[in-house]
């Protein structure tokens, strides 16, 4: 499982834990994706990887890891690139792994300056 990033930890306090327990109570200990009975290790998965504005599902660890695989790869690639000071062709590629509200604002196009 991917660790919770520092900037997202504020979204996972006691209220979130109560929300998770309420989801399990409402839907039962069954993964919503593969329908397996998982009494202990159900996780709340954000469909769009955005904890602020995202639809959630109750998934087992296996389904959650499969869903997060592309996101995890994008974050590892971005962190590696920052560590070794790799330049990006476009800023959109660098910030693709982040939710829209975390991305830096786009600069005006060069054509509009003249």
Higher pLDDT, 53 or 108: 53
Local structure of 24: helix, strand or coil: helix
Is residue 2 scored above 80 in pLDDT? no
What are the pLDDT digits (tens) for 87-100? 777 777 777 777 77
**What DSSP assignment string belongs to 91-113?**
HHHHTTTS-GGGSPPPPPPGGGG
Quote the number of domains for the chain.
1
- 97 in any annotated domain: yes
- 1 in any annotated domain: no
What are the pLDDT digits (tens) for 22-39? 999 999 999 999 999 998
- 14 in any annotated domain: yes
User: Domain containing 18: what range?
Assistant: 6-113
Q: Whole-model pTM?
A: 0.69
Q: What is the pLDDT of residue 63?
A: 95
Higher pLDDT, 44 or 93: 44
- 90 in any annotated domain: yes
- 20 in any annotated domain: yes
Place of tokens 């939710």: 99
């Amino acid at each position: 499982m991917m660790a919770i990033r520092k900037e997202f930890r504020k979204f996972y306090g006691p209220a979130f834990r109560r929300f998770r327990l309420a989801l399990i109570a409402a839907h039962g200990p069954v993964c919503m994706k593969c329908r397996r009975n998982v009494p202990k290790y159900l996780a709340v998965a954000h469909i769009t990887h955005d904890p602020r504005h995202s639809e959630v599902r109750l998934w087992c660890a296996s389904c959650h890891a499969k869903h997060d695989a592309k996101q995890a790869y994008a974050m590892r690639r971005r962190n590696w690139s920052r560590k070794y000071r790799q330049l990006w062709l476009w800023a959109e590629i660098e910030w693709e792994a982040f939710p829209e509200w975390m991305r830096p604002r786009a600069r005006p196009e060069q054509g509009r300056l003249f």
